[in-house]
C-alpha cells in the first residue's frame, strides 16, 4: 500500500479520501492502482524550486494559486439584493513560471466559490473564474487528474478571496489600533490587490508511466525575465538567506575564537596553580 500524506507549512490543505472520517493532514492509504499525491505547501517567502524536481521517490511540479481583485469604478458598480457589488475578482490556479502544461495532467478543474455562484468546471487552461462581489470568503479549487494519475477524489486547495488590503496591528497607527475591532478601521480599499501562494504537487513513488507523463508536461528551458512577478520575491528570499548565513558564520567564527581563548586561559591558570603548589612544597 502507498501512503498519501500532506506536507503543510503555512497553509491549510486537505486531500479528500475515501475515508471521510480521517482528519486533514492525517496519513491516508489508497489502493496501489491509485496515484500518490501530496501537496508541499510553501508561501512566496519560502524557497522556490522552479520546474519538476525528479527523483526515484518523488516528482514535484510547482503551481501558483490565489486571486486578484480590482475596485470597480462608481459607474461600474451594481446593486443586487440590497448589496453594492464593488469589486471584480479572479480566482485562479496556474503553473509556476509557465514551466509545465497543467492540462497535460489535469482532466478537470472545479472552482467552488460563494453559494450565490454555481461551481465552475474547466477542462482546459486558463484555469480561472471571474466574478463581481463585495465580500471576502473562503473558496476552493478541486484538481482532477488524468491517467496515469487518476484518483477517485480530487486534490483540493483552499483560499480566502481577498478584496482589500488588511492592516496588521504591528503597522497600524495608534488611532487604528484603538479601532481594530471595527471592520472599517482594519483594512484599506486599494484599486488593485493580488494574493497568491506557491505550492508543489508532489507524486511520491511515481511509476514509470507517471514519470514519463510529467516529463512530457514539463516545458523546460523557460526564460525568466524581469517581468516575471515571482522572481523578485524569490531573489529577495535567496538574498536574505545568504545574508543570514553570513551572519551565522561570522558569529560561529567569533564564538570559536572566544572558546579557544578561554581554553588557553584555562591551561595557563592550571599551569600557574601547579607551579604554585610545587613552590609551596
* Mean pLDDT, 10 residues at a time, the chain of 281 residues: 32 32 31 36 34 60 88 85 85 85 90 88 94 87 86 85 72 37 65 85 82 78 46 68 88 94 93 86 68
CB contact burial 200-231 (16+ within 10 A = b; e otherwise): bbbbbebeeebbebbeebbeeeeeeeeeeebe
Distance CA 21, CA 32 (A): 21
| Single pTM value for the model | 0.59
DSSP state of 153: S
In this structure, is the dihedral angle defined by the CA atoms of residues 121, 126, 132 and 135, taken in order, positive or negative? positive
In the prediction, which pLDDT does 231 show? 60
Nearest-Å Rg of the Cα atoms of the chain is: 27
In the prediction, which pLDDT does 108 show? 93
Distance CA 40, CA 13 (A): 9
Helix (H) or strand (E) holding 15, with range, is: strand 14-15
Is 29:1 a contact under the CB 8 Å cutoff?
A: yes
Is 83:269 a contact under the CB 8 Å cutoff?
A: no
In the prediction, which pLDDT does 178 show? 38
Amino acid at each position: 500500500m502507498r501512503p498519501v500524506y500532506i506536507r503543510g507549512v503555512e497553509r491549510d490543505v486537505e486531500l479528500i479520501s475515501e475515508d471521510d472520517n480521517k482528519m486533514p493532514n492525517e496519513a491516508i492509504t489508497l489502493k496501489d492502482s491509485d496515484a500518490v499525491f501530496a501537496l508541499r505547501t510553501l508561501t512566496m517567502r519560502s524557497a522556490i524550486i522552479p520546474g519538476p524536481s525528479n527523483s526515484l521517490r518523488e516528482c514535484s511540479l510547482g503551481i501558483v494559486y490565489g486571486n486578484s481583485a480590482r475596485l470597480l469604478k462608481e459607474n461600474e458598480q451594481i446593486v443586487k439584493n440590497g448589496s453594492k457589488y464593488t469589486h471584480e475578482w479572479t480566482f485562479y490556479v496556474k503553473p509556476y513560471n509557465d514551466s509545465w502544461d497543467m492540462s497535460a495532467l489535469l482532466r478537470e478543474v472545479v472552482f467552488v466559490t460563494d453559494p450565490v455562484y454555481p461551481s465552475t468546471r474547466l477542462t482546459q487552461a486558463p484555469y480561472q473564474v471571474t466574478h463581481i462581489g463585495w465580500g471576502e470568503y473562503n473558496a476552493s479549487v478541486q484538481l482532477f487528474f488524468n491517467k496515469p494519475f487518476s484518483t477517485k477524489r480530487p486534490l483540493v486547495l483552499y483560499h480566502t478571496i481577498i478584496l482589500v488590503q488588511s492592516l496588521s496591528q504591528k503597522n497600524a497607527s495608534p488611532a487604528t489600533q484603538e479601532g481594530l475591532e471595527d471592520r472599517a478601521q482594519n483594512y484599506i480599499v486599494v484599486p488593485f490587490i493580488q494574493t497568491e501562494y506557491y505550492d508543489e504537487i508532489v507524486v511520491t513513488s511515481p511509476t514509470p508511466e507517471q514519470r514519463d507523463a510529467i516529463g512530457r508536461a514539463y516545458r523546460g528551458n523557460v526564460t525568466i525575465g524581469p517581468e516575471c512577478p515571482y522572481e523578485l520575491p524569490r531573489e529577495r528570499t535567496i538574498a536574505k538567506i545568504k545574508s543570514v548565513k553570513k551572519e551565522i558564520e561570522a558569529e560561529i567564527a567569533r564564538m570559536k575564537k572566544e572558546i579557544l581563548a578561554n581554553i588557553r586561559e584555562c591551561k595557563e591558570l592550571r599551569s600557574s596553580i601547579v607551579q604554585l603548589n610545587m613552590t609551596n612544597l
